[in-house]
Structure 1
């Protein structure tokens, strides 16, 4: 087949409100002080030979611009006069290239549809960047990630430093824009919450379809296809991450993505899957249920324990507490329940302090969610956990994974065969509200009764 470079092409009607992006840029400019920010877009990445992976825009670049083409560069310049503070460098319109890859917005589209005050062809960045950075007190740029742009930024800064003895001016340092941007991204705007609700709605529908369809003898990949077909049919870009469809003992592998086995009668099935919308907002849901529609005694006992831990942890989500508090809430329930079942022995507090539960529960209870599935934002500021605020969105996903993969800690009981091969995780996406919380993924059922048929 001919060599084809592909990336998604939004229609003009799909471009998000320019004003929203302008407001984000203004907040970012205020945070920058006198530093000039250089924010590159993502580039196409080779899959094999001359074929590229589907293009996925850099989330920071997208957050500030909404521009969905590769290799662009955004300059945010608080030291420049009004009308020169948002500059985009983009690939220009070019018929020879567009016949292969599709229509480009070009410089004119960057100004008209994306709010750039000035736009230049991408190949002029090297020539024009030094002038745009002149007079900035610092340069905000993420080093080590953008191989094509980094030498241009460093050269422009080095030239300023070389001229400083004569000119008396140069950017004082190179700083990372990430902490500033990621603090902004951590608290979702009302429109962002609406997009997350939509991603969660589509994701929940797919989980319900998969649970209704499952039967012994099906292939894990058949269910993956059903889930991801629904994502596409419902208008999503596709899966937000590699879907996990893990029958039986495969569920004890946290990031199992082979999805190549046949589902066995009597096993549980764990599905961890969510969609990504065209504007990159994501859903992330995990459900676990019996393949044949009926729990065994051991499966039911562990499922009800994980569900109780998850429900208690969700109830703990509210302004003023931390993600660490949510995790500890789930962990306490899990450890106390494992003690009752005889899978752990001792005192709950001591087991938690020693980590003697980690052969059964080895991950945290959640993560931020937004433009990235594991979204940006600090969990701690030094010694202090970050407190939850309205607009933050996090997953709540405790689990238990009973297998021989990890050694049993000294002093804990050997695992009986009847428990082995049971892997359970229950995950919902939860937005922090002024009054407490909103479970965005509630349409995906999870009660014990709903998991049976």
Structure 2
């Protein structure tokens, strides 16, 4: 089995912290780690680190708290509060890095046991011009931060200084996370490669009479065998009309001869970078006439939309391109009636295509970062990674808009989505302005048949 745990690059995390603290100016930031979440009784879900905390620390244990203190002198600007080494606990849950490891391995200037946060936090925050903390997300830490802030405000009349604002760290961090470092792009390539090979394995294995769950098991076993942490999200393995349910995860039906199978699945690496791929193909290896026409239309929309991924364009450009191709094709097929631009303006296509054409991708599958700033859409820049995933879903679930043709039975139950992960690249390096990270998963009409 491949070991895909990356070499820990302490300098990469240190560089991120320096950039973040430069953005903070005179404010201090309190960034908590994730906590363990109960599944049932005394059993917990597998631990998943908070992405913002991971991005700045690389520390993969629960309940830690990181302080970023640009107002403090050198040698006490990055402070980690962690669970200390405790052999009796480690027998049950595994080795901890402890305070010593937080400094030696993860580059903290200082580290303290987590239980000391309440006592030490006011001293560390003293002198900051503001406090950056995500209110409403960390119920155990929030009272400590607010109490420290309140004490500063109470003393302000005597000392003449206090942190005068409680700030959200998210805009600063998420702007940083949106544009990926070359090392991050390589991890996303790896996630794309593993995810793509799982899709190829599944397509080769599918036969009528198999269950959706068998295919899910095959895909997720492949993720684990290749060293990934596991599935990045609940795998969607949807045969026939199930594919018209966008987030179908029951995955319990038997695959029928003559149906299509939609698989939306990607892996998450051990450092949390994700793949996100969707492929749709015939269970018996041959498209029907209607299936082929709709599949070819979705593929044409996706290829046109991917062509719009380049510096200076926007995610809105990508979506608009896909919608225009889809609507034009649906008019040609008789599934829509009217002027293409008018249909788009009125949203008369949304009973057949009801979602956006993509999202940012990174440490989170639906990754952070704004799509628009006020009235202006965010321009694509080298290092941004997004999915491109148009689809068509023909069913009775949504009413046909007034003035549009009733759907003939021969189209119903066909759900198709095609999704790739695409990195924006510098035009001087890649003339088309993008790189498809998931190209290992085939999608041409001929490749979907056997």
- Same-fold status (TM-score > 0.5): yes
Do structure 1's residue 209 and structure 2's residue 206 form an aligned pair?
Answer: no
Equivalent position SS for 1:158: helix
Question: Structure 1 stretches of 5 or more lacking a match?
Answer: 1-9
Number of paired residues? 443
1:121 and 1:81 map into 2 onto residues whose CA distance is: 21
Q: Post-superposition shift, 1:336?
A: 0.1
CA contact (8 A) 2:6 2:271 kept: no
Instruction: Decide whether aligned partners of structure 1 residues 370 and 356 sit closer, same or farther in structure 2, where only a CA change above 3 A counts.
Output: same
Q: What's the secondary structure of 1:224's corresponding residue?
A: helix
* 1:223 aligned to which of 215, 225, 228: 215
Residue 310 of structure 2 is matched in structure 1 by 318
TM-score (norm 2): 0.98
Indicate if the aligned counterparts of 1:306 and 1:398 stay in contact, CA closer than 8 A.
Answer: yes
- CA root-mean-square deviation: 1.0
Which of 341, 359, 380 in structure 2 is aligned with 1:388?
380
Note if contact 2:305-2:388 (Cα within 8 Å) is conserved in structure 1. yes
Q: 1:39 corresponds to which residue?
A: 31
**1:234 counterpart (198, 222, 226):** 226
Q: Separation in 2 of the partners of 1:292 and 1:437?
A: 34
Cα deviation, 1:248-289, whole Å, max 9, x if unaligned, reads 000000000000100000000000000000000000000000
Displacement, 1:38? 0.1
Preserved contact between residue 313 and residue 330 of structure 1 (Cα < 8 Å): yes
- Deviation of residue 291 (structure 1)? 0.1
Verify the 8 A CA contact 1:90 1:120 in the aligned structure 2: yes
**TM value normalised by structure 1:** 0.97
C-alpha contact (below 8 Å) 2:231/2:266 kept by paired residues: yes
Distance of 1:125 and 1:360 partners within structure 2: 53
Counting only pairs closer than 5 Å after superposition, residues 20-169 of structure 1 correspond to structure 2 as 20-169=12-161
Query: Matched residues in 2 for 1:350 and 1:432: separation?
Result: 31
Structure 1 residues 335-382: Cα deviation after superposition (integer angstroms, max 9, x where no partner): 000000000000000000000000000000000000000000000000
Partner residue in 1 for 2:430: none
State the distance in 2 between where 1:202 and 1:17 align.
22
Moved over 3 A (4+): none
Q: Secondary structure at the match of 1:412?
A: coil
**Equivalent residues of 1:286, 1:425 under 8 A apart:** yes
Residue among 295, 300, 305 paired with 1:303: 295
Secondary structure of the structure 2 residue equivalent to 1:271: strand
Which structure 2 segments of 5+ residues have no match? 428-432
CA separation in 1, counterparts of 2:362 and 2:341?
A: 34
1:15: how far off? 5.6
Note the alpha carbon deviations across 1:25-55, whole angstroms, 9 max, x for none. 0000000010000000000000000000000
Post-superposition Cα deviations, 1:27-85, rounded to whole Å, max 9, x if no partner, equal 00000010000000000000000000000000000000000000000000000001110
1-side partners of 2:155 and 2:381: how far apart? Answer: 46
- Tell me, yes or no, if structure 1 residue 16 matches structure 2 residue 13: no
Give the secondary structure class of the aligned counterpart of 1:114.
Answer: coil
> Is contact 1:379–1:386 with CA below 8 Å preserved after alignment?
yes
Q: Does 1:368 align with 2:365?
A: no
Residue equivalent to 2:439:
442
CA distance in 2, matches of 1:138, 1:63: 22
In structure 1, what is the Cα distance between the partners aligned to 2:6 and 2:257?
46
- How far did residue 167 of structure 1 move? 1.2
Q: How far has the Cα of 1:24 moved from its partner?
A: 0.2
Q: Is the Cα contact below 8 Å between 1:42 and 1:58 reproduced in 2?
A: yes
SS of residue paired to 2:105: helix
Q: Secondary structure at the match of 2:448?
A: coil
Structure 1 SS opposite 2:306: helix
- Kept after mapping to 1: 8 A contact 2:420/2:436: yes
CA distance in 2, matches of 1:95, 1:184: 38
Alpha-carbon displacement from aligned partner over 1:213-232 (angstroms, at most 9, x marks no partner):
00000000000000000000
Task: Tell me what 1:452 maps to.
Answer: 449
Tell me if structure 2 keeps the 8 A contact 1:268–1:423: yes
SS at match of 2:112: strand
Measured at CA, do residues 46 and 149 of structure 1 come closer, stay the same or move farther in structure 2, by a change above 3 Å?
same
Give per-residue Cα distances to partners, 1:115-161, cap 9 Å, x unaligned.
00100000000000000000000000000000110000000000011
Alpha-carbon distance in structure 1 between the residues aligned to 2:140 and 2:59: 19
